[in-house]
Amino acid sequence: MSPDQAAVRRTAATSDGPELLVMPPRQTSAAERLREVAAALPDQVAITTGDLDVSYADLQHRVQALTAELVPLLAGDAGVTPADARQPVGIYAEQGVDSVAAMFAVMATGHACVVLDVLLPPARAAVIVERAGVGVVLADAERRDAAAAMPGVHTVRDLAMPDGAQGGAQVEVPVAPALDDPATLVFTSGTTGLPKGVVWTQRTVLACGQTSRETLRITPADRVSLALPQGFAVGQLSVVAALLNGATLCVRDPRVHGIHDLAAWVEATGVTVLNCTPSLLRSLHGALPEGHVLPALRLVTTAGEKVYGTDVSDFRQHLPAGASFMNWMGSSETEALTSFEIRPGDPVPSGAVPIGTAIPLRTLSVLGPTDEPVQPGEVGVLHATSEYFSAGYWRDPAATATRFRVEPDGRTRYCTGDRARMDADGVVEILGRGDDSVKIRGYLVEPAEVESALRALPDVVDAVVRGTGTDEHVRLVAWVVPDPHRPEPTAQGLRRDVGQQLPEWMVPRDVVLLPELPRNERGKVDVGALPAPAERHEGAAPATDTERAVEQVWAPILGVEHVGREESFTALGGESLDVEEMFTALSREFGVSLVIDDLAAHPTLAEFAALLTEKQAEAAQQGSGGTVGRLLRRLGRGGARR
């Protein structure tokens, strides 16, 4: 028995829900565990979207009905093909009851599930489908045509439960999933210029349910938020943490519905465990009235990037007495690794909140250049060991071997790539990356993938990308060599073009055009010789009271001291959550309602200030306090969505 197993082996029937998972798990698949929870809590609400409540009995019915349809559809693959070679199944839909049920149905068939984020650029989603080898996609009506056009996809079907489908009986699959079979593929940025799929096995998913129960103290009394994308590791952790422990999963996507909606939804839905990135937490704080308490919350968690003591202090005004704040760290490859909880009476750190100590089923070590443990307080590279990590990278043993190593006791050791130090109590402090990777809004970005996307543009012959700036304001900078035989592109045009291939957090904020890249005697790019991005020319300062008021809101969000009246919010690096934070502040100050089209049509500070003045005048004239702005929306000329 490994140290991990010895630490948590037990069978404990609890008074508030199904028996705890045991390690090694009694079940062999996530679907089996869900059946067990549904049998114990059939009338408990499993998923709520605010518009729809679904019990565990109903969820299990949906999962079994869809599984019954998938089994014959995938029968030619299962039973004759090893589990790690079967074609994965894609899910392409706005997250909700159907997408979550489909995720469990796919895992029940013995095939890996690939959840595609609906807000990814279609080209990026297509690359993920191709890299995964997806043949069948379950899609909502809005995305069926797009799914059918993706490379390698031969079958697209509705992911909702068919009318009149019978899901009462357990479905027999040709080969039941085993603990080490792939369950889901989580795609992340890749060093080879393409996204890479991380293989979460059934064992990984089941262990995630256990560690969530242990660390977050999840019980059936909880209502756990899924406000982060279901396709990413932290989103799937939220799904598993709730549904494998009998809690209610509360589903909402603030990128679709807006940050104001999220603030109202958290309170109306009675969320008790709110899982956020630090940037989402800050946006939510900005959307809430000062001193407004969310009475049901008992725990707020953050992950993905550094969170600061000021963030905790700011948000504490929205927490009821007895509620805690928890910062944790993990990765797609490992799921959660550490946690650091700040309870109601605990002091708040003055700087960055620590990532804390190892959670159950994980052992952490800080190693030196020759893999020797360093002394407490000394700097090395953080490694984590467990038998419940992912199985590495999908169909890429070479990449897997660079990060994962099997230890003599059978557990897996993973090199995180983070420079770190650990004190005598096991508390870890992250000091930065040991490679070129950077964290942008909580997402790990490999510059090589951004470079590849830039080089694929017809106007570009070479490019290099690096992350620069401080922890609070890390940004990507691209140095680009344009094709001398074509008209020279603009920096803004290159950002727009690469944004059609990559998600917004991977689009460089600054683009520097060069005749050639500096290289050393070995032909490698001399990063130290790359010129710094040109200083911004702010131009004319804000000229009116409204323009100055807008600048006071824009500047801190964008991390700059001043904004010129002809400067654009998006060109200065404003991203989707930044836009929501900005709208929240200006709507409150000017008493008007704003939509994303307003910024697209009025991108500069002067134009946006003029729009605010116009909206204020309209609201005053109609005595509506901005009602017209909430009811009317400018229709765009293009787009595929309804």
Residue 469: the pLDDT is: 77
pLDDT tens profile 282-293: 889 988 999 999
The answer to whether 307 touches 278, Cβ cutoff 8 Å, is yes
- Is residue 312 scored above 60 in pLDDT? yes
Under the banding of pLDDT at 50, 70 and 90, the label for residue 628 is very low
DSSP reduced 3-state for 103: helix
Query: Do β-strands 412-422 and 379-386 pair in parallel, antiparallel, or remain unpaired?
Result: antiparallel
The full DSSP string for 484-544 is: TTSPPPPHHHHHHHHTTTS-GGGS-SEEEE-SS--B-TTS-B-GGGSPPPPPP---SPP-S
Closest Cα partner for 353 from 366, 363, 339, 365? 339
- Is residue 67 scored above 90 in pLDDT? yes
> Encoding tokens for residue 417?
């790539």
Q: Kindly tell me the burial class for residue 589, based on how many C-beta atoms sit within 10 Å of its own C-beta (0-12, 13-18, 19 or more).
A: middle
DSSP reduced 3-state for 202: helix
Q: What DSSP element (H or E) covers 430?
A: strand 428-433
Residue 524: the pLDDT is: 72
Give CA–CA dist 240/204, Å, rounded: 10
C-beta atoms surrounding 380 within 10 Å: 22
Q: Which residues pair with 478 in a beta bridge?
A: 465, 511
Residue 73 sits at φ, ψ, to 5 deg, of: -65, -35
Under the banding of pLDDT at 50, 70 and 90, the label for residue 642 is very low
pLDDT tens profile 246-263: 999 999 998 888 888 899
Q: Which residues pair with 185 in a beta bridge?
A: 199
Q: What DSSP element (H or E) covers 578?
A: helix 576-590
Q: Is the dihedral of CA 549, 553, 554, 556 positive or negative?
A: positive
- The rounded mean pLDDT for the chain is 87
Give CA–CA dist 219/245, Å, rounded: 6
160 vs 372, residue with greater confidence: 372
Residue 210: the pLDDT is: 93
pLDDT tens profile 18-63: 554 455 567 899 999 999 999 999 999 999 998 899 999 999 999 9
Give CA–CA dist 11/63, Å, rounded: 27
Q: What DSSP element (H or E) covers 40?
A: helix 30-40
DSSP reduced 3-state for 287: helix
Determine the average pLDDT of the residues in 11-22: 46
pLDDT tens profile 508-548: 888 999 999 997 766 678 888 999 887 767 678 899 999 99
Give CA–CA dist 395/199, Å, rounded: 9
Determine the average pLDDT of the residues in 182-188: 96
Q: Which residues pair with 109 in a beta bridge?
A: none
The answer to whether 603 touches 571, Cβ cutoff 8 Å, is yes
pLDDT tens profile 398-421: 999 999 999 999 999 999 998 899
265 vs 75, residue with greater confidence: 265
Task: Return the DSSP state at 424.
Answer: T
> Encoding tokens for residue 66?
């869809």
Q: What DSSP element (H or E) covers 428?
A: strand 428-433
Give CA–CA dist 239/530, Å, rounded: 44
- Is residue 190 scored above 90 in pLDDT? no
Least confident window among 8-12, 114-118, 177-181, 446-450: 8-12
Cβ-Cβ contacts under 8 Å for 242 (sequence gap 6 or more):
218, 222, 224, 226, 248, 249
Query: Do β-strands 273-276 and 299-302 pair in parallel, antiparallel, or remain unpaired?
Result: parallel
Closest Cα partner for 310 from 278, 334, 288, 284? 278
pLDDT tens profile 351-363: 889 999 999 999 9
The answer to whether 114 touches 89, Cβ cutoff 8 Å, is yes
Give CA–CA dist 555/480, Å, rounded: 27
Determine the average pLDDT of the residues in 321-341: 96
Residue 20: the pLDDT is: 46
Least confident window among 62-66, 455-459, 500-504: 500-504
Cα 236 vs. chain centroid, distance in angstroms?
9
Cβ-Cβ contacts under 8 Å for 306 (sequence gap 6 or more):
278, 352, 353, 439, 471, 472
- Is residue 181 scored above 50 in pLDDT? yes
207 vs 598, residue with greater confidence: 207
Residue 246: the pLDDT is: 96
pLDDT tens profile 145-172: 999 999 999 999 999 875 555 555 666 7
DSSP reduced 3-state for 228: coil
The full DSSP string for 321-357 is: TT-EEEEEEEETTTEEEEEEEE-TTSPPPSSBPP-BE
- Is residue 313 scored above 90 in pLDDT? yes
Determine the average pLDDT of the residues in 463-488: 86
Closest Cα partner for 307 from 271, 347, 276, 344? 276
Q: Which domains does the chain have, with CATH numbers?
A: 3-419 (3.40.50.12780), 446-529 (3.30.300.30), 545-631 (1.10.1200.10)
Total residues belonging to the chain = 642
Percent of the chain with pLDDT over 70: 88
Determine the average pLDDT of the residues in 450-476: 85
Residue 415: the pLDDT is: 96
Under the banding of pLDDT at 50, 70 and 90, the label for residue 322 is very high
Give CA–CA dist 414/404, Å, rounded: 5
- Is residue 183 scored above 60 in pLDDT? yes
Residue 58: the pLDDT is: 96
- Is residue 335 scored above 80 in pLDDT? yes
Q: Is the dihedral of CA 192, 194, 195, 197 positive or negative?
A: negative
The full DSSP string for 355-385 is: -BEEPTT-EEEEE-TTSPBPPTT-EEEEEEE
pLDDT tens profile 129-150: 999 999 999 999 999 999 999 9
Residue 406: the pLDDT is: 96
Q: What DSSP element (H or E) covers 223?
A: strand 223-226
Amino acid at 286: G
Residue 80: the pLDDT is: 60
Least confident window among 146-155, 204-213, 422-431, 518-527: 518-527
Determine the average pLDDT of the residues in 438-458: 85
The answer to whether the peptide bond before residue 24 is cis (omega within 30 degrees of 0) is yes
Give CA–CA dist 581/567, Å, rounded: 18
Q: What DSSP element (H or E) covers 225?
A: strand 223-226
- Is residue 479 scored above 50 in pLDDT? yes
DSSP reduced 3-state for 76: coil
| Overall pTM surpassing 0.85 (yes/no) | no
Select the highest-mean-pLDDT range: 55-59, 469-473, 620-624: 55-59
- Is residue 471 scored above 70 in pLDDT? no
490 vs 161, residue with greater confidence: 490
- Is residue 588 scored above 70 in pLDDT? yes
Residue 23: the pLDDT is: 56
Find the helix packing angle between 97-108 and 233-243, rounded to 10°: 90
Give CA–CA dist 79/110, Å, rounded: 9
Residue 31: the pLDDT is: 95
pLDDT tens profile 537-576: 767 889 999 999 999 999 888 877 889 998 888 777 777 7
Task: Return the DSSP state at 546.
Answer: H
Give CA–CA dist 436/527, Å, rounded: 11
Determine the average pLDDT of the residues in 71-84: 74
pLDDT tens profile 81-122: 788 889 999 999 999 999 999 999 999 999 999 999 998 989
Cβ-Cβ contacts under 8 Å for 335 (sequence gap 6 or more):
200, 204, 207, 208, 211, 233, 237, 388, 389, 390
The answer to whether 111 touches 135, Cβ cutoff 8 Å, is no
Look-up of token digits 């400018």: 634
